[in-house]
Chains A and B, each alone.
Chain A
Amino acid sequence: MNKIHDAVADLHRLPGVKGAAVLTTDGMVAAQSFDKTMNSDVVVGLTSYLMMTTKRTLAEGGLGACSQFVLHATNGKAVFITLEDSYLVVVFDQFADVSQASKEVQETALRIRRASRLG
């Protein structure tokens, strides 16, 4: 569990990252690290809603499973990655370059996958 928490905390230290969390598919938080200005409960709840809705609609449309979701909004960005039985969510500020941070996000996802298997 500490390894997952460390991975999330490391991701939070990247420039432009406002916070990150790992949550189970039913919305339970495994690890999180957010700026003080962010309401982590809201992020987690909304992530659960967004990923469940996307997963269901893709399945109904016969488009398979969702592996990654990237969202750009006016004042922020967010990346969601599907892990085995959980999701990794990373929230960025509006100036962050998500494609540049993609490598670190993918590496963190890999670290979390390994830690979950070992744990």
Chain B
Amino acid sequence: MHLIQRMKVWKDLRRLEQRAREHPSPSTFVDLGQVYINLEMHDKAERVGEDGLTLFPKSTEMRQLLDCARRGLRGKKTAALRAKLTRSPSGKLFRELAQLFVELGDTAALHATCQEWSIRFPDDPGSWVVQGQAQLMNFYRDLAAREGHEAVRCLQRAVTMDRKDGQARRLLGELLYRIGAVRAAEEHLEAVKQLTPDDIELEALMHHVAGLDDYGNDIDALLQDVERHGCLLHPSLAAAPKPDGDEAMTRARGGLSQVAEITGVRKATFIRGSKALIKGAIRDGRDPFLRVVRVVAKAAHRFAKRLDIGNASKTVVDCDFGHVCICVYGDVLAAAQCDRGTDLEQVMAELQELVAGALHSVGESHE
């Protein structure tokens, strides 16, 4: 592009930016984003798409623009990663590149990358995990037995290569329970629990899985059944019917009593949304302990989110009088105030059990 053309484009850009500011509408944002995409400035197009989506959250064109800009960005990133891999190949770079191909939905490129990855790093199970992940996405979308079978094969291979690969075991466990192989799934989830005992989401998932019916270990037959019927046998944890507020509170009451009975625990609470249960030396809902718990949990949540380390699930604060222990997941929170010398591991384990128990639905209400 020569100088005059470039000046013309910049002039157009300024005009479009001004139009988007003065007369914001989906079409003005799309026009502006399209110019940025034509100029290969996908980062700016992404910003325009995000701004536009904030103003017009229901606009399909805005979503398409954002999707197009992000695909362009991923394409650029792919090229940069390819160049890096040629200079200094590593498992980490292969994983990043393969993940990008998964996001782009480029199956052929993903397959080629994983093939190269497993040839260069034959002991790295990562290539099998990513391939399994991609096959899983296809299986969950189409419910085709062949893809499910491929996903199981890839993930099982990754587990055989590294018995401690938590991601492969978790993905495999989730797939197995959803097609009905509940006992087989539990073995994998139990192994993941040994690796990450603090994972509350996993514990809730295990509670959810424990309440499901087992249909045996014949994976091929189960996958064929899923394909024939066009639906998975068991719902995911997120899609499972949640216990209603009152039911969850009733269930929590027993757990909270157990926490309060631990030697050294002075106060214990279980909070779900705007409802709270209390045990111990708490007078009423205005007890400062309840406010401390809410504020500290919220601050810890913000810290973890902004530092990009996921959800803050457990917090222990040591103060002059003893400890405040908090366990939180989603809108469910359980906390205890304890004296010095209290068995904190036991307190945290009970709180975790309490929160995980409130998250899953095992159909107790139907029994």
Contact = CB atoms under 8 A, between A and B. Distances in A.
B310 to A, nearest CB: 3
B315 A69 contact: yes
Contacts of B310: 73-76, 94
B316 A73 contact: no
Interface residues of B, number: 33
Name the residue in A46, A71, A78 with the highest tally of chain B Cβ atoms < 10 Å from its Cβ: A71
B316 A70 contact: yes
A1 interface: no
A62 interface: yes
Given A50-B299, A53-B299, A54-B296, A71 B304 contact: yes
B312 A57 contact: no
A47 B303 CA distance: 8
B299 A73 contact: no
Nearest to A47: B303
A67 B292 contact: no
Nearest to B200: A74
Interface residues of A, number: 31
A71 B324 CA distance: 12
A74 B288 contact: no
Interface in B255-312: 288-289, 291-292, 295-296, 299-300, 302-304, 306-312
A37 B155 CA distance: 29
17 contacts: A50-B302, A53-B299, A57-B292, A61-B289, A63-B289, A63-B320, A63-B321, A64-B319, A69-B315, A70-B314, A72-B315, A73-B311, A73-B312, A73-B313, A74-B304, A74-B313, A78-B303
